[in-house]
Amino acid sequence: MLLIAGLGNPGKQYEKTRHNMGFDVVDELIDRHEIPQAGIAHKALYGKGIIGGEKVIVEKPLTYMNLSGESVREFIDYYKMDPETEMIVIYDDIDLEPGQIRIRKKGSAGGHNGIKNIIAQLGTQNFYRIKVGVGAKPKGWDLADYVLGRFSSKEREVVDAAIQDAADAVEMIIEKGIDAAMNHYNGSGKKKKEE
């Protein structure tokens, strides 16, 4: 079984904001694979289904971004999963241009409060993650205002394509493994940046 956690903030006012990329990718996976909603548990909206022949739980934490790790840890504990091999976290990244995605096996929080909280709750930073680019904040902008803002219609087009790519990447990780997905999405044509 695999946990797929998409990070974001609950509530209408946060829909389609830069900080809700994880929610948007999980919604895409739910639609594609017709994953039934199981309701609310472990501080999240969640569903159970099958992707690529594998049982999955998809979740959107309802804790707000900064406490995402509380919900993730509850799922990991309840289902006795190994976060280092049985979890994929999807979230926004201001260090990537809109439309880019990047896959990692592990890494620091890089200033992302949702990831910071997951690392603190799980006691490891070794977990698979898919980062969806939202672009750097403009000079003089407050970071919170920027990530809670929405994309221009032109940006939205490339971001919608990136949401599709990120959902494809989840499928590839499940079917072919993390290395295959990293080779495919982090390589040619997409700007490569090692951490």
Please name every residue paired with 48 in a beta bridge, in sequence order, or none if there are none.
Answer: 57
The DSSP bridge pattern shows strands 101-104 and 44-51 to be unpaired
The first and second tokens of residue 102, run together, are 């990047």
The first and second tokens of residue 160, run together, are 């919608």
Identify whether the C-beta of residue 36 lies closer than 8 Å to the C-beta of residue 48: yes
E strands, the chain, in order = 2-6, 37-41, 44-51, 54-61, 87-93, 101-104, 128-133
Identify whether the C-beta of residue 23 lies closer than 8 Å to the C-beta of residue 64: no
Rounded Cα–Cα distance for residues 51 and 82 (Å): 18
66 marked ligand binding residue: yes
- Polymer length of the chain: 195
186 marked ligand binding residue: no
Is residue 33 part of the annotated active site? The answer reads no
Q: Which of 19, 33, 112, 184 is catalytic?
A: 19
Rounded Cα–Cα distance for residues 168 and 95 (Å): 21
The angle subtended at Cα 115 by Cα 109 and Cα 118, nearest 5°, is 125
Q: Binding site for tRNA, residues?
A: 14, 64, 66, 113
Binding residues: 14, 64, 66, 113
Task: Give catalytic residues, as residue numbers.
Answer: 19
